[in-house]
Amino acid sequence: MIARDTLQKSLWQDSVNPYISEKTASVSDLYDVIIVGGGITGITTGLMLQEAGKNCLLIEAENLGYGTTGGTTAHLNTLLDTPYTTISKNFNKDAARQVATAAADAIRLIKSNIEKYQINCEYEEAAAYLYSENEKQDKELKETADAAIEAGLNLTYTSSIPIPAIFTSAIRVENQAKFHPLKYIMALAANFEAAGGIIIQHCRVIGVNENDPLEIETSIMTFKAKQIIYATHIPIGINLLHLRCAPYRSYAMAVKLPDGNYPADLTYDMYDPYFYYRTQIIDSEKYLIVGGKDHKTGQEENTSRNYLQLEAKIKSLYSQFELTHQWSSQYFEPADGLPYIGNLPQHNKNVHVATGFGGNGMIYSHVAARLLTNVITGKKGNYDDLFAPNRLKPVAGFKNFITHNAEVTKEFIGKLFSATRLNELSELAHGEGKLVSFEGKKLGIYKSDTGELFA
């Protein structure tokens, strides 16, 4: 059993032992790459880079699997949180097809890793079902299905779904999967060290001096590296990604069903926020995992109510069940619906980031691992521009995002920073976001089309 970033341990964290690092790092060594973050993104990326000939050090502030990777519900799906309708609108149809291809490639990479390293992580291939319950949702489902088909997903309409819910319409998407995320990353970590990589746990990054080489100050010692990857939520310090990612919290429960009527496939409804369901076998025991009740972090004072509502949802479908685990997890929602993977804007070209995965961290972690490995080894990838963090021009989704965050950002600007005291604002065009100087420090600022300032 390993530690957790909330009071409740997830089903995954309750079924594995803490990872024990086999090596120690040296302050005198110069590393090719330092990876910050011991979740699925950092570990997968580290292993790929190490096997590509790079000398890597992975730094984790707590223990491997402590954060979002340990709190996921681990759906491996190409039916993403951001619908392909939204991706087509915010970008274009080619972008939607690219995202669908990248998601499918991610699932194939996970399967390939499992086979290559002979990982026992209860991996199962499955289908995914999305269902509607009323006329309004029927219309939304059709739009979602049409855009998904155009993006390249293999889906059909179906007259049945895996859970005992009343529905009016449903689709089935092929080539999805599920697995035990912590058993997976623990095996990858062992292979990373076997390939020459080094893992340091309980080591927090305090700051980075962007010299050549980079100097990474930590709670233990200062390390040197040619390049750094932030495989965390938002990198330390003030940067543009604070403007473009909003923190959300999601809730999950694992239950056992006395009647044994566990759904074989992944299932989602059309509500916002939506509920999602799947079964996982761990050590020959079956569990139904139900998630939902997502909300923006800080907007729910009584989070116990979310668990009660989640439990009520389960009761509406299954008359008898035994609750074994409940937990929550934080993720970051990107402004325009796609993650930010690549060079950290307005930083040294050797500073990289992977964040804004929304609720699809299992998928985008592997997209990021492949993309960042290509970047650092000097190869051109298929998705570099699509996911680039420096896509600065706000799209419609970004303006909606800013509106959604108005209660936070306006208060921040109004109470802490007088506009007359901010330098460089004359250089900031309407509809533009950038870093500006404030009392010798950097601050992320966005100026709306009407001239309002948001931090």
Per DSSP, the residues of 111-174 read HHHHHHTT--S--EEEEEEEEE-SHHHHHHHHHHHHHHHHHT--EEE-S--SSS---SEEEEEE
**367-382 pLDDT tens trace:** 999 999 999 999 988 8
- Give the per-residue pLDDT at 2: 64
Residue 150: exposed, middle, or buried by beta-carbon count in 10 A (0-12, 13-18, 19+)?
A: middle
User: Span 106-117, mean pLDDT?
Assistant: 99
Nearest to 288 by CA among 325, 327, 330: 325
429 domain-assigned: yes
Residue 61 has pLDDT above 50, yes or no: yes
Does a structural domain hold residue 87?
no
Q: Domain count for the chain, please give it.
A: 1
Phi/psi of residue 383, nearest 5 degrees: -120, 15
Lowest mean pLDDT among 134-143, 229-238, 353-362: 229-238
For 65, left (φ over 0), alpha (ψ -120 to 50), or beta? left
Q: For residue 175, what are the CA distances in angstroms to 124, 156, 305?
A: 10, 12, 35
Structural domain boundaries enclosing 442: 405-454
Give the mean pLDDT of 83-94. Answer: 96
Question: What tokens were used for 381?
Answer: 């990838």
DSSP states along 308-322: HHHHHHHHHH-SS-E
Compute the distance between CA of residue 197 and CA of residue 58 in angstroms, rounded to an integer.
8
CB 162 within 8 A of CB 276: no
Q: Any idea what the Cα angle at residue 303 is, between residues 302 and 308, rounded to 5°?
A: 105
Please state the φ and ψ torsions of residue 411, each to the nearest 5 degrees.
Answer: -65, -40
| Amino acid identity for residue 183 in this structure | K
Q: Return the structure tokens found at 146.
A: 């049409």
Q: Select the more confidently predicted residue: 72 or 296.
A: 72
Q: Does a structural domain hold residue 442? A: yes
Quick check: is 415 in a domain? Answer: yes
How many H helices and E strands in the chain? 11, 20
Q: What is the DSSP letter of 419?
A: G
Residue 447 in domain: yes
Mean pLDDT on 204-223? 95
For 377, residues 6+ apart whose C-beta sits below 8 A from its C-beta are 49, 52, 53, 54
Asked whether residue 90 is domain-assigned, the answer is no
Rounded average pLDDT over 310-330: 96
pTM of the predicted model, to two decimals? 0.87
* Residue 232 belongs to a domain: no
pLDDT in tens, 273-282: 999 999 999 9
Q: What are phi and psi of 78, to 5 degrees?
A: -100, -5
Q: Does residue 431 lie in a domain region?
A: yes
Ramachandran angles phi, psi of 397, nearest 5°: -60, -35
Query: To 10 degrees, the CA torsion angle through 233, 238, 240, 243?
Result: 70
**pLDDT, tens digit, for every residue of 358-368?**
999 999 999 99
The arithmetic mean of pLDDT across residues 240-266, rounded, is 92
Q: What pLDDT band is residue 418 in, cutting at 50, 70 and 90?
A: very low
Q: pLDDT value at position 243?
A: 76
